[in-house]
Amino acid sequence: MIQFDKIYNEDCLEGMKRIGDCTIDCVVTSPPYYALRDYGVDGQIGLETSPEEYIDRLTDVFAEVLRVMKPEGTCWVVIGDSYAGSNKGSANYPENAKLWLQGTNKGTLSKRTSFKMKTTAKDRDLIGIPWMLAFALRRIGFYLRQDIIWHKPNPMPESVTNRCTRSHEYIFLLTKSARYYFNKEALREPANTGLRKHEYNHRKVKFIVPGHRQEQFRGGNVSDGFRNKRDVWSVCVKPGYEGHHATFPVDIPYQCILLGCPVGGVVLDPFIGSGTTAVVAHRTHCHYIGFELNREYFEIAQKRISEELAQPTFLFK
Ligand SMILES: C[S@@+](CC[C@H](N)C(=O)[O-])C[C@H]1O[C@@H](n2cnc3c(N)ncnc32)[C@H](O)[C@@H]1O
């Protein structure tokens, strides 16, 4: 059986088989994107020949996720789109190469020569990967509850001249049941007619003190100057931790966990990369389980998590 508060250097589909049914409170993950980068390890997801094969593999992974989730569990999937393209010349997949803000372009497919995509989409068509995945997951039993837009105020610059620069990705909220854990009080925002900034900041600071997150904003309603969190989240992209170049910023799992996981719950990330989800689970007083296939990234995540655990106290931001 799998232990809590541990990450494993193995294929997530294999690893999750050792998790019992209905164990996990919250899943926060960002799968490898399609045709974007080579993580340099056999068995990796993301380099399938066709978008359909990629979706099939992810669907197998998420079928296992569904099994291990508690009935009241939530699943947050961060996913970006890819463009169709043929493998011509040295600058392969120029449309896809800049989705993430990265310290370097290590691993991007522009350095790869052997990848050929088979798709009915024309060169330069946007494939629609996020929605292909969302519908596939709905078909296997997930409730597709929401498409949240992750708006990036500082997107990677793109040299395109015939479309706008991409500055968003999707975060899908999927659940196992129609009724599920959702702490809407955790992240209420100031309403337009609400508190002055210093009053809001005062409450926000109280809210982030460890151990007290459940008590904040309790019993509030719009008339107290706050409103429900909206479905467009503006979060700046940050450089990855050490050698990992496809990380999400801590604010993404932070918000998902506060909304979708009770204190003391277990958070799973099947594609843990540099360990961001584990670090945030710890900061929000939850347990974690993670899988990472690439040995180098697994070690980066281990180091990052041990540094986190060595911190005596924590105040977010
Ligand atoms: C987009 S990254 C995740 C980044 C992570 N959210 C972070 O903040 O560091 C996806 C990760 O999935 C890993 N991966 C790819 N295929 C995998 C598989 N079959 N099982 C487990 N991990 C896999 C890749 O090596 C990569 O580190």
Mean pLDDT of the chain: 85
Residue range 44-81, pLDDT digits in tens: 999 999 999 999 999 999 999 999 999 999 999 999 99
- Minimum CA distance residue for ligand 1 atom 1: 32
Does 316 score more than 80 pLDDT? Answer: no
Model pTM score: 0.87
How far apart (Å, rounded) are the C-alpha atoms in residues 251 and 57?
A: 28
Residue 202, pLDDT score: 54
Q: What tokens were used for 263?
A: 């204190």
Domain ranges of the chain: 20-182+231-264
What is the maximal distance between C-alpha atoms in the chain? 60
Residue 96, pLDDT score: 54
* Residues 108-127, mean pLDDT to the nearest whole number: 78
Q: How far is CA 33 from CA 29, 58, 288, 295, in A?
A: 12, 10, 23, 19
Indicate the range of 16-20, 87-91, 110-114 predicted with least confidence.
87-91
As beta bridge partners, residue 289 has 6, 268
- The number of angstroms, rounded, from the C-alpha of 97 to the middle of its chain's C-alpha atoms is 19
Residue range 214-270, pLDDT digits in tens: 444 444 444 578 899 999 999 999 888 776 778 999 999 999 999 999 999 999 999
Residue 242, pLDDT score: 76
Does 102 score more than 50 pLDDT? Answer: no
Å from CA of 31 to ligand 1 middle: 6
| pLDDT bracket for residue 284 (50, 70, 90) | very high
CATH fold of 20-182+231-264 reads Rossmann fold (3.40.50)
Does 117 score more than 60 pLDDT? Answer: yes
Mutate to test the pocket of ligand 1, among 19, 44, 254 (most ligand atoms within 8 A of CB): 44
Residue 37, pLDDT score: 86
- Minimum CA distance residue for ligand 1 atom 13: 271
Mutate to test the pocket of ligand 1, among 39, 58, 64, 295 (most ligand atoms within 8 A of CB): 39
245 lines ligand 1 (CB under 6 A): no
Q: What proportion of the chain, given as a percentage, has pLDDT over 90?
A: 71
Indicate the range of 27-31, 92-96, 249-253 predicted with least confidence.
92-96
Residue range 139-157, pLDDT digits in tens: 999 999 999 999 999 999 9
Atom number, ligand 1, closest to the C-alpha of residue 297: 27
30 lines ligand 1 (CB under 6 A): yes
Å from CA of 79 to ligand 1 middle: 12
Q: What proportion of the chain, given as a percentage, has pLDDT over 70?
A: 79
54 lines ligand 1 (CB under 6 A): no
96 lines ligand 1 (CB under 6 A): no
Residue 195, pLDDT score: 54
Residue 241, pLDDT score: 77
- Minimum CA distance residue for ligand 1 atom 12: 271
